[in-house]
A = this chain, B = another copy of it.
Amino acid sequence: MIELFELAGADEAVRFSPYCWRIRMSLAHKGLDAEMVPWHFQQRDTLPAGTSTVPVLVDDEDVISDSWAIAQHLEAAYPNAPSLFGGETGEAHARFVAAWADKVLHPALLPLVAPELLTQVRPEAAAYFRETRERRLGVSLEEAAAQRETRLGEARAVLAPVREVVGSQPFLGGEEPTYADYAVFGGFQWARLVSQHEVLAAEDPVHGWRERMLDLFDGLARSAPTA
By secondary structure, the A interface counts as helix
Q: Given A86-B87, A87-B87, A100-B100, does the pair A92, B169 have CB atoms closer than 8 Å?
A: yes
The count of identical subunits is: 2
Query: Which of A170-178, A190-198, A216-224 lies on the face that meets chain B?
Result: A170-178
Q: What residues of B have a CB within 8 angstroms of the CB of A100 in the complex? A: 96, 100, 161
A102 to B100, CA, bound (A): 15
A89/B161 in contact, CB under 8 A: no
A99 to B205, CA, bound (A): 15
Contact of A165 among B99, B160, B173, B180 (CB under 8 A): B99
B92/A174 in contact, CB under 8 A: yes
Q: What residues of B have a CB within 8 angstroms of the CB of A99 in the complex? A: 160-162, 164-165
Q: Given A86-B88, A87-B87, does the pair A93, B164 have CB atoms closer than 8 Å?
A: no
Chain B residue nearest to A85 (CB atoms) is B89
- Looking at the assembled complex, report how far the CB atom of A209 sits from the nearest CB atom of chain B, in whole angstroms: 12
The answer, yes or no, to whether A208 is at the interface (CB within 8 Å) is no
Q: What residues of B have a CB within 8 angstroms of the CB of A127 in the complex? A: none
The answer, yes or no, to whether A94 is at the interface (CB within 8 Å) is yes
A103 to B168, CA, bound (A): 15
A165/B96 in contact, CB under 8 A: yes
- Looking at the assembled complex, report how far the CB atom of A185 sits from the nearest CB atom of chain B, in whole angstroms: 13
Chain A positions within 8 Å of B, measured between CB atoms, are: 83, 85-97, 99-100, 102-104, 160-162, 164-165, 168-169, 171-175, 178, 180
